[in-house]
Amino acid sequence: MAGWLGNRHAGLTSGSVRRNMKVKIIPRMSRLAILFLALLLQIAPPLSAGSPLFQNLESSAFETIDNHLDPGKWLVVMIWASDCEVCKREVASYQQFHEQHEQRDARVLGITLDGLQGTEAARGFTAEHGVGFNNLIGEPEAVTAYFQVLTGSPWVGTPTFLIYGPDGSLLAKQVGAVPVDLIEQFIAANSAAQ
């Protein structure tokens, strides 16, 4: 699955995004890096559907992304960290997007990489920035390993976005700041296919 922001400007459709799936391969990965990744995947929690990978930031209940998929609605997942400057600049526009679309066609779900030790920092971030959409919290190693398994791509950093279609399928991923209007354009262009 290629990052959709760059492809969107090339006029790709939902079908062509799926047909042009690409996996980035890290050239000449050192033996140490491969051993580290293998160890990380062994100690990470199970990545099967329905496994409790995250905790709800407010209730501490264990949840997965699947718990937030709403049939018939798009789900935009923003993976963020409380010390991410780009996340601080972007989160208000995603809160506004969530408010405008929640009752109609889309919702936003946040996942913070702050880990359980950073719960207070994550809660402070959501309070300071007026974040009202649901947020989950996970350990950085587990979230990044989950991302790699889910997308087949290496983890790069925050913010990172995942977009799930109304049928619950992962349709796009993008690393870095993404203007909300591009997400709205992607949803509009791909709604007919769903």
Q: Average pLDDT by consecutive 10-residue portion of the chain (194 residues)?
A: 43 33 39 44 42 80 91 96 97 98 96 96 98 96 91 95 96 95 95 73
Residue 60: its pLDDT value, please?
A: 81
Cβ pair 147, 60 in contact under 8 A:
no
Rounded Cα distance, 18 and 1, in Å: 6
Helix (H/G/I), strand (E/B), else coil: 35:
helix
What dotted CATH number matches 49-191?
3.40.30.10
CA angle, 71 then 143 then 46, to 5°: 80
**pTM of the predicted model, to two decimals?**
0.75
Rounded Cα distance, 132 and 127, in Å: 9
Cα 150 from chain centroid (whole Å): 10
